[in-house]
A and B are shown apart, each in its own frame.
Chain A
């Protein structure tokens, strides 16, 4: 194990799962995080959870931000968490964004989604949350 003097930038995968095509939020967040100095990889739309897990491992990311505005969040988030676990990659932090009702947010957090950001979130809040909650030192 090596220790680095300076914190390396967070590596983050912004992902769109399922069939919905709402990518405004995902793209805005991806740009804001990149402008904040993070290394951002964007999957593009309509990914399967398998493809997202594969990309996350290949790109060696610290966290995945999954954007869902199709109402399929109660299927796709648990599915992503399960597949990460199966691949032994459940150290990758998962957070999300989209149109997700409050009751569902609570349930998703219990399942292991670390945070959910809803419409109206200040981009700085997402940046701060990542800086606080995503460790990058080996």
Chain B
């Protein structure tokens, strides 16, 4: 028998990445002309030790719970405690949302998160003409201490942590919540939670505002200052990239602008003479989790390292706590499609997995129907179950930062960190975030990226299943939540009756006190807690802000 001749290439080994790339890979065909992330990032076909970039374990990773926190902010991560499953909820009257809160707690949710309606978010009571058609629609209507009390009726404020997504009227929502606690004899020390209270990103992306940037930032920092002295377990700000990303930013822009927003608050607080190691530990963050799986994981890791380095090296923080970037995450609302909406369950699951592999502290998973309306109970339950499946079935929580050390992930983490830092230097050169926002720098960058993305979708450079590929035509019908118009009438009556019941002398004095605090540039928070207890409403405080600080209008740049 003659021996068969071995083919020349069997078990061939390239001696280096370059040799493999030139000698082997380049002789093959690729199915696309380019491979880009959702953020227009060119993706390498392979990362090895040779093209993984300059990487030093001790310097760039370290151990979980240790500076620079790349691998996570806690030593045990999800082996110690799972992330908080916190579904954002709010619609209709305070009673309606109170029922939803209890439903979520009954189904194993571990923290509350409040969505307010547009009038509450923009500083109008339900009986204001500008609230017409919007009361209780995108969130819950809250304008008085009674509303806040009802919203958390039967819920022990010292037993749950509560997140409130509210910004230009955050001082008021914060005061209402704390006033309710006071009324229930709960000490401020016992209150845990987070108020979003991030005005920079409002001007950049979400666009809910009352007054111009400078006084808006002052109000943000009033809450930071108050919590640093009087509410040690409450996060006074959630520095948010979510809205920036949803408005069309790339992953790097989201990270850069969010970190730069944080630096803006840090600088304002330092300007007040506050100590970084006292207030920085309570600065919390909130990022989006979009479709591009690895880019998102790398973004969270880069975020922690970048923030830690800036806090220590730029601001001289001396404690670990001041350098830890703790973050909430939400799956990308903008990635959901109205077409074939059940597909959204799959998108959300993968985004949520990326958030967990990225090491977040708290997570909201969107419901499949959120591109059509606020979510139904059934849809929310699937979203919550998705988190529980990741947490308790998939096994990904068993090992800390399981992707750490991957050539690709580490290279991507470093690239994203460096690119974000370059943006931060650009913002520094403009004079900091306040100036950058005033001249519309981040706004323009985001609008540009949003337009580029749409062009890519239109040209099918980026695929959205069911939208520009695999379309079915005709819409899949799923049940949606309808908000009855009666909610608006009910809330208008309720606020009118509340106003009629107040002690007029006390109320008038309270309004004067708030105005004086604003004019004299004092911290408004303690005054507001008393004022809302005396019946001042959210709309009334906002009117004082409009009067004293002025009204900001959209420059309407395209």
Interface residues of A (CB under 8 A from B): 18-24, 27-28, 30-32, 34, 40, 42-46, 48, 70-72, 74-76, 79, 99, 101-102, 118-120, 122-124
* CB nearest to A74 among chain B residues: B133
Contact check: which of A19, A22, A44 meets B119 at CB < 8 Å?
A: A19
Stretch in B59-67, B304-312, B446-454 touching the partner: B446-454
Alpha-carbon distance between A71 and B484 when the two chains are bound, in angstroms: 11
Which of chain A's residues have a CB closer than 8 A to the CB of B475? 102
> Does the CB pair B558–A120 fall under 8 Å?
no
Alpha-carbon distance between A122 and B464 when the two chains are bound, in angstroms: 12
**Minimum distance in angstroms from B527 CB to a CB of chain A:** 26
> Does the CB pair B138–A44 fall under 8 Å?
no
Number of A-B contacts (CB under 8 A): 106
Alpha-carbon distance between A75 and B119 when the two chains are bound, in angstroms: 15
**Minimum distance in angstroms from B201 CB to a CB of chain A:** 11
> Does the CB pair B137–A72 fall under 8 Å?
yes
Which of chain A's residues have a CB closer than 8 A to the CB of B553? 44, 46
Determine which residue in B134, B339, B371, B477 has the highest number of CB atoms from chain A within 10 A of its CB, and name it.
B134
Contact check: which of B122, B338, B457, B464 meets A19 at CB < 8 Å?
A: B122
Q: Is B260 an interface residue (CB 8 A)?
A: no
**Minimum distance in angstroms from A101 CB to a CB of chain B:** 6
* Per-residue A-contact encoding for B87-102, CB less than 8 Å = 1, 0 else: 0000000000000000
**Minimum distance in angstroms from B247 CB to a CB of chain A:** 5
Question: What are 16 A-B interface contacts by the 8 Å CB criterion?
Answer: A19-B118, A19-B121, A21-B202, A21-B206, A23-B247, A24-B246, A24-B247, A28-B450, A28-B454, A31-B451, A42-B556, A70-B138, A71-B134, A72-B118, A72-B132, A72-B137
Determine which residue in B119, B207, B477, B483 has the highest number of CB atoms from chain A within 10 A of its CB, and name it.
B207
Which of chain A's residues have a CB closer than 8 A to the CB of B114? none
Which of chain B's residues have a CB closer than 8 A to the CB of A74? 133
Which of chain A's residues have a CB closer than 8 A to the CB of B373? 71, 99, 101
> Does the CB pair A20–B138 fall under 8 Å?
yes
Q: Is B154 an interface residue (CB 8 A)?
A: no
Contact check: which of A19, A79, A120 meets B130 at CB < 8 Å?
A: A19
**Minimum distance in angstroms from A65 CB to a CB of chain B:** 13
* CB nearest to A73 among chain B residues: B133
Alpha-carbon distance between A72 and B138 when the two chains are bound, in angstroms: 9
Count residues of B near A (Cβ-Cβ below 8 Å): 46
Which of chain B's residues have a CB closer than 8 A to the CB of A124? 458
**Minimum distance in angstroms from B118 CB to a CB of chain A:** 4
> Does the CB pair B132–A34 fall under 8 Å?
no
Which of chain A's residues have a CB closer than 8 A to the CB of B447? 27, 31
Alpha-carbon distance between A29 and B315 when the two chains are bound, in angstroms: 42
**Minimum distance in angstroms from B382 CB to a CB of chain A:** 19
Which of chain A's residues have a CB closer than 8 A to the CB of B492? none
Q: Is B468 an interface residue (CB 8 A)?
A: yes
> Does the CB pair B207–A123 fall under 8 Å?
no
Q: Is B555 an interface residue (CB 8 A)?
A: yes
* CB nearest to A32 among chain B residues: B454
Alpha-carbon distance between A102 and B373 when the two chains are bound, in angstroms: 11
Which of chain A's residues have a CB closer than 8 A to the CB of B371? 99, 119
> Does the CB pair B247–A75 fall under 8 Å?
no
> Does the CB pair B467–A34 fall under 8 Å?
no
